Structure 1
């Protein structure tokens, strides 16, 4: 078992994200998970990411607040405990259009070069 306390989570900067504070909860460390990493993202009002894509799928789980996910012409608002999977290479944009902070878990497989 690999336990990591929230107080020990290290910040990271995700490319093409804005008004966002990310913490790595698990991954990229000795004894941690071997096939994916878990991030905790806090998006201020007006914060978001994209448009861009990754070569691996990702899962978003909204813990608090709401996040608008945009793929092509489709928009969906995720609320508390809603989740979605973004397939590999799918271009997405996410926007916190609310006046509250959005807190979100992100689960992503390690990139092929990791």
Structure 2
């Protein structure tokens, strides 16, 4: 994995590590991203799903990328948020999915390449 990252990363790329998780015992949920010196973490509404937490982390990472103006953004996910689509009802995530897609489209419109790992 490290070799693949080194091959993909250039001085013109921004690498962002994302994570979202839920405590199964309490239902507390959170999301975070780390990129160089920038770190952001936040609490989500209790009862959020893992899918929602992962997508929230990716959405905010894309927002950070919009402000950073790099031509290539690499998002490293700890878990594929789409690997368990049956976790919640799809309609529960419409706003989260569309707002994430909108940010990706805004980046693409200005010529930014986005890589999800």
Normalized against structure 1, the TM-score is what?
0.28
Q: Greater strand percent: which structure?
A: 1
| Structure that is richer in helix per residue | 2
Structure 2 length-normalised TM? 0.27
